[in-house]
Structure 1
Amino acid sequence: MLDTIQDVPVIPSADLETDPHSTLRRYRASHPFAALETGGYIVLGYDDVSRLARDPRLQATEVALPAQAGLSQGALFDIFAHGMLTANGQVHQDRRSPISRALVGEVAEQYRRHVRRSAHALIDRCFASGEMKLVGDYAAPLPALGLAGLLGVPKGELAPFLRDIDAMNAFFRPDATAATASSAEKAAVRVRSAIGLLIDYEGDDQAGGFLQHYVRLAETEPRHARVETLMQIVQLIIGGTESVRTAIVAQTANLLANPLQWRAVVENPERVPAAVAEAMRFEPGIAGLVRLSAEDIAIEGRTLPAGQLVVLSLMSALRDERIFDRPDTFDIFRLNPGPSHLGFGGGAHQCVADALGRAALQEALSVLAERLPHLRLAQPPVFSGHVFVRGSTECRVTW
């Protein structure tokens, strides 16, 4: 007989904000999922998170999240209403298919080259000073510059484009406020307009690039409207910048906090992929996958009720001691790194641009190790967020 929902513990928000990993570990030891003080439920174990990420009874949130924030129209609302990541069923497939097909082939390598070139340029700006704000000077602009290069943003328009991306992304951060939403809405309007102009400009270019190829594929879908064409690119930008920024900070800070591991990466660049993978496991840029339960779901004798927001906690799953040896230890030398890391999600909504995400993280680390082998951690970051996108305080490094 299934336990009643009263048997499920409620995790205090203060505990998650103060020490999320210890809190998740404590509840994971005795419960497959828990209730969140702010509402909804959080699934904790690796096997359950991996399985439920593919379970059709857990659906994408569509417009539930902007509705909670009081949004029923506008540029931010459209990101949810017309994007693939927040859609379900055939609508999701129709929106995902063109961009998924456009991202194959040489696109990841093209993006990698843009990121690498931008990484060198960002280091050039501050090299002589011997210090850098890792977030503001490197991790925040780098993935955005890579995407701007892939999309063909003119050099003269880069600065405002990057500012608008940062302002728009603030809506998705753990510390977002009503004031943040207002400025993010205005920025989202400008980002949407800029992408529209790029699409129209590329439409006159028969040679084309990634954006041109995507638009052509999108236009072959009978139910694909222009607003959907725009919103898939907006979601690509959001997904390819905000969580990547945090992941760049996390992988750098954790390596520098373990000097032998940093030195190993510096001396052997072939260790970069393993270092990136371990950092994504240890301190992921995405805290969890947010879903809506379409019906009751039984998990280990307990009932996850229908009609609820459900967080599939990547933070908890990726430190599950039943799956990973010494899960709370950062170790790029793991002989058995464990199963797929879920770092880019799972199921039908797995990140469509996971190859781009890995490329950005690997190039960010490779260039730092190449250019700044004597990098030191001067001010460690503090990470926040336990539901969706994670953030961090500034992290200062010297050399």
Structure 2
Amino acid sequence: MRSSVLAGILATATVAQKGAWEQCGGSGYSGVNTCVSGYTCVFSNTWYSQCLPGTNAPVATTLKTSTKTTKAAATTTSAPSTTTTTTPTNPGRFRWLGVNQAGGEFGDGIFPGRCGTEFTFPDNSAIQTLIGQGYNIFRVGFSLERLVPNTLTLALDTGYLKNLTATVNYMTNAGAYAILDPHNYGRYYGNVITDTAAFQTFFNTFAKQYVSNAKVVFDTNNEYHTMSQDLVLQLNQAAINGIRAAGATSQYILVEGNQWSGAWSWNATNTNLVSLTDSQNKLVYQMHQYLDSSSSGTSVNCVSADIGVQRVVGATAWLRANNKVGILGEFAGGANSLCKTAVANLLDHLKANSDVWTGALWWAGGPWWGDYMYSFEPPSGIGYTYYNSLLKNYLP
């Protein structure tokens, strides 16, 4: 998700012109439709238009979304030119269904922070409850700044790594998969990561900790956004290269895209990611999709019963056309009947297209959510009590 509730909801941008790569239109959008010099507001689909390099006339559509002020991306290295294919899963059945586990990334901006005060890790009893019901994958959020303080190329912090690994081992020893999620939005201490060599070094060091655990899944970074599209490509490839060079060859790698990795705009925004390569042929393209008017997951209200399907059909077509597979790494809906229908329709679509969709993960579980509208923390989280019986119909 674009931010945790504890960290605060991201504010809508109010600049006179939209910056490079930012959203400039779509259904329900109320911001400006013009871009900074050298960029044009280009229509992607009904819900999304983006400022892309070029000089064509702006396209005015509407969609209000959240943005976050960051420093601009700098130089990048050249992109790989070959493509990789991934064997599709069997149609009609998910490989994975699970729940995000938030907490290790909480306390954003307070580094290193204190475990139990600024941040926390998943509760093992809650994890066991979910595994016992058949959920088989969990995405564990953590902070790069806590795991590798000061510089990406330094040694890992032993205390933070110990807690993270204990959580991962608990999940995988119980038979589930654990996704390691640097929940950093392509940033490090608030700055866009532009040093692809350092990024590769980090993942090489990090992956060495989990070489022997085939149920670990590496996520390259949570929700890159408002960055150079080529930089997003290069960071993903650097992560892949670092992981494989570490000897981690049995693990899947989840790559994420620009514009918060949104499924609704993937087939227009992230088309260059088709050129990512993996020597082990275990890439899965991770997308996120919420059902509220801004696709941001900040409202209990869903647009319509079919909104989830409408927002992912382009991504489904993109995956199939390029012989790739994906996973919906974040989705959720409010505790009301319209959203429940929308969630069911979305999951039905993914399952019907499980030749290209490997599964989905609800946002989110974790012990500190309290009365958060989507909380999937047993036994009393709002999302858990309202949606658990529905989601269990889609278990692998």
TM-score by length of 1: 0.33
More helix by share: 1
Which one has more relative contact order, counting CA pairs under 8 Å at least 6 apart?
A: 1
More strand by share: 2
TM-score by length of 2: 0.33
